[in-house]
Structure formats: structure tokens, C-alpha cells
């Protein structure tokens, strides 16, 4: 079994949990995804069932102008998954757009929640404010309801997210409650957060959110040269002028990467203490970060090559996982249809 | 062939047109439906293909609190259709909730239009203002996009609506244009309005919009006693105090019913002229209206009884029509999926 050479983020999973996670296929996955969710899935996949959604419909809500990007990213994501150690025989890989039941469930769920409540969602609000009204297509605006449909469709009990995503899961839980009041029981999902001390949301090299679009992320397939260049660009504390200055290890981005990925926790703690006292240059921190990232990404990069050769097999796993997940989604849809007075679907 | 004893509203249909119309199953159909759309369908059904949608999903957008009402209204609508002379062997009867492709198309179309544009729709705006924010569930708010999905799914070219519904069809046409820009061709639908002189929107007995909820409409299955009582309640011009007063025939509701349904156009024109000059009492107008409505509804009521006996056959027609329409919807969905970079559906 392939083990990631990084501290394992412990998730608050309970016996019997069904986990739903996933990614929007908008480009290659990067270290932000690894720290924020992939590593936890790899650690958790043997503890309880994981449904992993390749959320291409959700990706289209803000990539309707560039559908080729979404289409072309799907294979890369399958390769990324296999390369970090997700076992396609163990987890359920699901292509969102091949589960039509999700759209039907989403349309029905929209009748159980006010538009105001959907639009109050802080993520939607923030992203709409950032992108401006031109990007405010209706699909993007209502995506929290569509995400609730994903969660309920697959009867997930635990949805690993960042703290800022908690209202998304609250909406899904609210809708599960509404369905229960009408006689259609689906599990009420709860958000599961990264354990204290785990990396959670990893910043990009420039300190902003790590994003392929911003070009500030390190892809899982990055070469050593790309890693070196990215680490070089990592911002430090601009107020610190000499290595003798006492420093705040919360400031340099390189420390964030070390906290996420350095398997030598004692060595890292010592370095942080020394940095606080003064005597450690930001170049030293970056040198360590470069080595840690290189040691982590190197084997993943090699396994990406190997996984690329197995792509037909990975596509089969996606197809089979989707077919199996559709069975669950169909049952959920039947229950929801029945609480709306609609007949059970024959096919 | 059964002919309605009423003036036939002429529609601006063109050779090759494919018509989409339909009704929300929220209760029995009434004379407002007959004047506004049913009569035109009956007249047009032999001229070009009609898809007639029993729009139960749309009904649920504002009847999520009373799903039994929607479920139970479907049979009644089939009976009403047959009773007014729609030929179930000729028109395509479709149950909206049994065409899952519509939900998928709707979710994809939401990515091609801003939420603002959907919410600017005057009907949605007016109904939200009337019903208040509590009724503003997201399903209702976005129903113009969902209605566009109906229209495009079935490749309709002509959609008969009232003048106030024109923006709905404009949205569907806009979305057809957006799809064409992306390489998925669907016909650009146009609104078709009641011909000048046709009844168009028939008011309720109290002068407000005819509505089952307001109890101001005359059902297609109304008894003679119910008709008499409804006509008695029809409001007249309160400013007019004596039959000798010159009157405005646009004011009494009874005249609106005569204009919609009186097959004796010359007799009606004479009465209107006399009313203008003075010398006709509102009671006289109501007496004529009661007779005209009774003559119209009587045969329909009898045919409702007969159609009720044929209900299993009507349900079969709905099932077959739905299956056939799904074929068209599936082809449309395939085309739309492909312009979003999604693969053609195998099944």
C-alpha cells in the first residue's frame, strides 16, 4: 500500500458513517486539495464507505464559458486520485453528470427552501461579490441546493469540508429535515472538519487561496523545477529584514506547507521555536519546505505516470461506481417523489 | 366530432408548427381555461402537432404544502381535456414529472442565464409580490427557466400564451439562441397570442382573475345550479342605477362571458349596442349569459361523465404520450449535453 509521506489528518468519522466528498474537475489537483481533503480520504477510505464525486455539473456552473476545460479535467482527476493512494476498487467514484437523478432531486428540493436562504449562503455571497454580477448565472446562485441534492442522493452522513463550508451542509441537513417531515427519510448529514492541527485550507504561494486559475498552487504532478520555482515565490513576513530578527512562523507561507506536509513533526517544532527567537532565515525555511514538498510530490508524480497507463481501468471504475451510486440515488429519488405525491418510477 | 358551441379563437399557427401548451394540475379546469387556451387547442389539434403538458412539477412549485391536491387533479384534467374535445389519440398528452430529461435540461439551462434575468420576469415578480416572501421558494422563483426547459425539450415552435406571458417565451427563445451559439440547435420558440376579438383572459365572476382558489370561476363540470349562482354573483357597473341609463358593455362581467362564449355574434352585437344606448338591464344581460354558459357547459358536463368511464384509456394515452415525448426530450438533452462537453447518454 502506498503511504503519503505526510502527517495524517484525523477526521471525526464515526462507525457506520457514509462519506461524500468530491472535486470540481476544472484542472489538475494540487497540494491544496491534498492537504484539504485528499489525504483525509486516503486515510479514511478503509474505515467507512466513501463516495467520491467528480462534480462536473457543479464545475459547469462557473465554467459554462469553458466546457472543454471541465471535460478534459476528468481523466486527470482520476489519475490524481489513484496517484495519491485512493483505491478505485474501494471507494465509489461517481461522475455527477451521469446521475440524472441528482437533477431531479435538486429541482424538487428547490421547492422546500426559499431563494433567500440559498442566496444567504456565505460562500455563494462571497464568490458572487468577488466575481461580479456577470458571473451570477442562476446555476451558480442555486448550487448550494444542487450540492444538497448530491449529499442526500447518496445518503451521506458525513461530509468533510472546511469550516467556511459549514452552511452548505446545514442547508442539506435542513432539507433532510423537511423531507422527514413529509415522510421521506434520508440521513441528516453533518459536516466533518479537519482535526485541530491538520492543515485544513492550504494557502497558495502568494498567500491567497490556492487556485489553478491564480497560478499559485503546486500541482500533484509538479516537476522538481516547478516545485523549486513555486517555493521561491512563497511570500514571507515583509517586516522581517534579517535572519537575526525574531519572527512569527504563522506568517511565511513556507511554514504553512511544512505544517501540512512535514512528517518530521519534532524537527518542525524545533524550527518554529528557533524562528520565533530569531536566528532562522526565511531561505532556510523555504529550503526545508522545498525538500519536504519534493519528497512528497516525487512518488506521487511517479504514480501519476503509472496511473496514466491504467487510465482505461480507472475510467471503468468511474463507470461502475457511477452505475452503483445511481442505484442509491434512484431509491432516494423514489422516496422524495413519493413525498411530493409522485408515483414511484418504474424504470 | 364534438364541437364546442362557442366562437372559435383563431391562433396564428403556421404550417410546420409544433405547439406546446399545458395546464398546472391544481384543481378542475374552468371556463377561464376554456376561453384562454382549451378552445384554441381543440380548434388547432388537427392543424399541427400539439404537445399538451400536465405540468405537475410546475404545480408543485407553489403547492409543495398540498401535494395531494396536485396528485389528485391529474385525472380530472384528463377528463376535462376529453370532455372539451381534445382527441387523446391526436394530441400528445405528457405528464411532466415522468420526463426526467426536463429536470436535467433545466439544470443545464440555469448556467446560461443570470438569476437577475429570471427574477425580472413580470409574472414571477407580480406573483411573488402578491404572495409575499414566504411563498418565495426557489423552485417558484426559477420556474421561468424550468418552463423554458419544457418548451425546448419538446422542440416547440409555437407556445400559445396570454400577452402577459410573452417574457416567459422570450426567455426560452434567449436560451435557444444561447444553445445555438454553442452548437446545439433547438427551434427558437415564439409566443402565439389569442386573435383580436377572442376572449383571451376571462375574468372571474367578481372581476378578479378567474381562479379555483378564489372560488370565482365556473368549472367545466358545473351544474346548472352552480352556473346560475355564479352568474348571479357576476359584478356589473355599480354606477348604473336604472335600466334606462346608457351603459358601458366593457364593465359588466356577464358581457365578458358573452363575448367569450356566445355563438350568436349578431345577437350579442345588438345587445351591446342597446346596452350602450340605455334600455337593457344588467339582469337581462345576466339572463343571456346564464343561458349561453348553460348551453356550453351542459354537453361538456355530459361528456365529462362519459370521459370518466374512459379514464383507464385516458391514463394509457397519457402514459403513451409521455413515453413518446421522452424520446424527443432525450434527443434534445443529448444535444444540450454535448454543447456542455458532456457525453451522449447511452440509455
Q: pLDDT category, B256, cuts 50, 70, 90? A: very high
Give the C-alpha separation, B129 to B118, whole Å: 15
- Most distant pair of Cα atoms in chain B: their distance: 74
Q: Which residues of A touch B110 (CB under 8 A)?
A: 61, 137-139, 142
Give the C-alpha separation, A272 to A255, whole Å: 8
Closest Cα to residue A72, out of A253, A311, A251? A311
Give the model's pLDDT for residue A52.
98
Place of cell 358536463: B301
pLDDT of B120 strictly over 80: yes
The model's pLDDT over A270-304, given as tens digits with 9 standing for 90+, comes to: 999 999 999 899 999 999 999 999 999 999 999 99
Give the C-alpha separation, B194 to B5, whole Å: 18
Question: Higher model confidence: residue A136 or residue A49?
Answer: A49
Question: Higher model confidence: residue B304 or residue A136?
Answer: B304
- Residue A54, H or E segment: strand A50-54
Question: Higher model confidence: residue A309 or residue B195?
Answer: A309
Q: pLDDT category, B197, cuts 50, 70, 90? A: low
Give the C-alpha separation, A299 to B60, whole Å: 53
pLDDT above 70 covers a percentage of chain B that reads 95
Question: Higher model confidence: residue B322 or residue A121?
Answer: B322
For residue A245, CA distances in Å to A254, A259, A274, A275, A325 come to 17, 21, 11, 8, 56
Say if the Cβ atoms of A118 and B140 lie within 8 Å: no
Q: pLDDT category, B133, cuts 50, 70, 90? A: low
Interacting residues of A16 by C-beta distance below 8 A, sequence separation 6+: A48, A157
Give the model's pLDDT for residue B157.
97
- The Cα of A69 is separated from the nearest Cα of chain B by a number of Å equal to 9
- The Cα of A275 is separated from the nearest Cα of chain B by a number of Å equal to 49
Facing residue for A142 by CB, picked from B116, B142, B337: B142
Helices (H), A218-310: 224-232, 253-261, 265-277, 282-309
Closest Cα to residue A156, out of A263, A5, A21, A280? A21
Return the CATH number of the domain spanning residue range A224-307.
Answer: 1.10.240.10
Say if the Cβ atoms of A114 and B104 lie within 8 Å: no
The domain spans of chain A are 19-201+311-339, 224-307
Give the model's pLDDT for residue A311.
97
Say if the Cβ atoms of A136 and B146 lie within 8 Å: no
Say if the Cβ atoms of B71 and A341 lie within 8 Å: yes
Three-class DSSP category at A120: coil
Q: Is the ipTM of this complex over 0.90?
A: yes
Give the C-alpha separation, A146 to A148, whole Å: 5
Give the model's pLDDT for residue B200.
62
The model's pLDDT over A144-171, given as tens digits with 9 standing for 90+, comes to: 999 999 999 999 999 999 888 899 999 9
Place of cell 524537527: A267
Q: pLDDT category, B127, cuts 50, 70, 90? A: confident
Size of interface A-B (CB pairs under 8 A): 120
Give the model's pLDDT for residue A155.
98
Interacting residues of B120 by C-beta distance below 8 A, sequence separation 6+: none
| First-residue to last-residue Cα distance in chain A | 40
Q: pLDDT category, B330, cuts 50, 70, 90? A: very high
The model's pLDDT over A65-118, given as tens digits with 9 standing for 90+, comes to: 999 999 999 999 999 999 999 999 999 999 999 999 999 999 999 999 999 899
Give the C-alpha separation, B301 to A108, whole Å: 35
Give the C-alpha separation, A301 to A321, whole Å: 25
Say if the Cβ atoms of A67 and B340 lie within 8 Å: yes
Closest Cα to residue A231, out of A222, A239, A221? A222
The model's pLDDT over A250-277, given as tens digits with 9 standing for 90+, comes to: 999 999 999 999 999 999 999 999 999 9
Give the model's pLDDT for residue A194.
75
Q: pLDDT category, B195, cuts 50, 70, 90? A: low
Give the model's pLDDT for residue B344.
82
Give the C-alpha separation, B53 to B92, whole Å: 8
For residue B128, CA distances in Å to A279, A338, B51, B142, B215 come to 65, 27, 29, 12, 21
Q: What average pLDDT does this structure show over B214-234?
A: 94
**How would you classify residue A16: left for phi > 0, otherwise alpha for psi between -120 and 50, otherwise beta?**
left
Give the model's pLDDT for residue A306.
97
Give the C-alpha separation, B181 to A277, whole Å: 62
Q: What is the CA radius of gyration of chain A?
A: 21
The model's pLDDT over A103-129, given as tens digits with 9 standing for 90+, comes to: 999 999 999 999 989 988 888 888 777
Say if the Cβ atoms of B100 and A97 lie within 8 Å: no
Place of cell 381534445: B86
Q: pLDDT category, A11, cuts 50, 70, 90? A: confident
Give the model's pLDDT for residue A347.
56
Alpha carbons within 13 A on the beta-carbon side of B33: 24
Range list of β-strands (E), chain B: 19-23, 50-54, 92-95, 158-160, 190-192
Interface test with A, best of B97, B107, B323 (most A CBs within 10 A): B107
Give the C-alpha separation, A47 to A90, whole Å: 11
- Least confident residue range of A6-10, A205-209, B306-310: A6-10
Place of cell 362564449: B261
Give the model's pLDDT for residue A133.
58
pLDDT of A344 strictly over 90: no
Summary mean pLDDT of chain B? 92
Q: Do domains B19-201+310-339 and B224-307 have the same CATH topology?
A: no
Summary mean pLDDT of chain A? 92
Give the model's pLDDT for residue B285.
96
Q: Which residues of B touch A70 (CB under 8 A)?
A: 341
Give the model's pLDDT for residue A135.
56
Fold of A19-201+311-339: Rossmann fold (3.40.50)
Check if the beta carbon of residue B335 is closer than 8 Å to that of residue B186: yes
The model's pLDDT over A170-213, given as tens digits with 9 standing for 90+, comes to: 999 999 999 999 999 999 999 998 765 555 678 999 988 888 77
Say if the Cβ atoms of A138 and B341 lie within 8 Å: no
- The Cα of B117 is separated from the nearest Cα of chain A by a number of Å equal to 9
**Number of Cβ within a 10 Å radius of residue A287:** 13
Give the model's pLDDT for residue B132.
66
Residue of B nearest to A95 (CA): B342
**Number of Cβ within a 10 Å radius of residue B312:** 8
Name the CATH superfamily housing domain B19-201+310-339.
HUPs (3.40.50.620)
Say if the Cβ atoms of A108 and B60 lie within 8 Å: yes
Residue A21 grid cell: 466528498
Cα torsion at B196, B199, B201, B202 (round to 10°)? 160
Question: Higher model confidence: residue A320 or residue B212?
Answer: A320
Range list of β-strands (E), B27-138: 50-54, 92-95
Q: What residues of A are in the B interface, CB distance below 8 Å?
A: 56-57, 60-61, 64, 67-68, 70-71, 97, 100-101, 103-104, 106-108, 110-116, 118, 133-134, 136-142, 145-146, 182, 337, 339-342
Closest Cα to residue A110, out of A66, A162, A146? A146
Q: pLDDT category, B347, cuts 50, 70, 90? A: low
Residue B102 grid cell: 426536463
Give the C-alpha separation, A70 to A174, whole Å: 30
Give the C-alpha separation, B126 to B114, whole Å: 19
Amino acid at each position: 500500500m502506498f503511504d503519503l509521506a505526510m502527517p495524517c489528518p484525523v477526521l471525526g468519522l464515526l462507525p457506520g458513517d457514509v462519506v461524500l466528498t468530491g472535486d470540481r474537475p476544472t484542472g489538475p489537483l494540487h497540494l491544496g486539495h491534498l492537504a484539504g481533503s485528499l489525504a483525509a480520504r486516503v486515510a479514511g477510505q478503509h474505515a467507512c464507505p466513501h463516495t467520491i464525486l467528480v462534480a462536473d455539473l457543479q464545475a459547469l456552473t462557473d465554467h459554462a464559458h469553458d466546457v472543454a476545460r471541465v471535460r478534459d479535467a476528468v481523466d486527470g482527476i482520476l489519475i490524481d486520485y489513484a496517484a495519491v493512494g485512493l483505491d478505485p476498487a474501494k471507494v465509489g467514484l461517481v461522475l455527477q453528470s451521469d446521475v440524472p437523478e441528482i437533477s431531479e432531486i435538486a429541482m424538487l428540493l428547490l421547492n422546500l427552501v426559499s431563494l433567500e436562504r440559498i442566496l444567504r449562503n456565505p460562500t455563494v455571497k462571497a464568490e458572487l461579490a468577488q466575481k461580479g454580477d456577470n458571473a451570477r448565472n442562476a446555476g451558480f446562485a442555486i448550487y448550494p441546493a444542487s450540492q444538497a441534492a448530491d449529499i442526500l442522493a447518496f445518503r451521506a452522513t458525513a461530509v468533510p469540508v472546511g469550516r467556511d463550508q459549514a452552511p452548505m451542509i446545514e442547508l442539506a441537513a435542513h432539507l433532510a429535515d423537511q423531507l422527514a417531515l413529509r415522510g421521506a427519510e434520508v440521513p441528516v448529514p453533518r459536516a466533518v472538519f479537519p482535526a485541530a492541527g491538520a492543515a485544513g485550507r492550504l494557502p497558495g504561494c502568494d498567500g491567497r487561496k490556492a487556485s489553478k486559475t491564480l497560478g499559485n498552487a503546486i500541482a500533484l504532478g509538479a516537476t522538481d523545477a516547478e516545485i523549486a520555482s513555486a517555493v521561491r515565490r512563497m511570500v514571507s513576513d515583509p517586516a522581517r529584514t534579517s535572519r537575526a530578527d525574531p519572527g512569527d512562523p504563522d506568517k511565511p507561507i513556507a511554514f504553512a506547507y511544512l505544517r501540512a506536509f512535514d512528517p518530521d513533526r519534532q524537527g518542525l517544532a524545533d524550527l518554529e521555536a528557533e524562528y520565533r527567537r530569531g536566528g532562522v532565515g526565511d531561505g532556510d525555511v523555504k529550503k526545508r519546505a522545498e525538500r519536504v514538498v519534493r519528497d512528497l510530490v516525487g512518488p506521487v508524480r511517479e504514480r501519476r505516470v503509472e496511473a496514466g497507463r491504467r487510465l482505461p481501468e480507472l475510467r471503468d471504475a468511474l463507470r461502475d461506481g457511477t452505475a452503483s451510486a445511481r442505484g442509491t440515488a434512484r431509491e432516494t429519488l423514489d422516496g422524495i417523489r413519493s413525498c411530493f405525491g409522485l408515483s414511484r418510477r418504474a424504470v
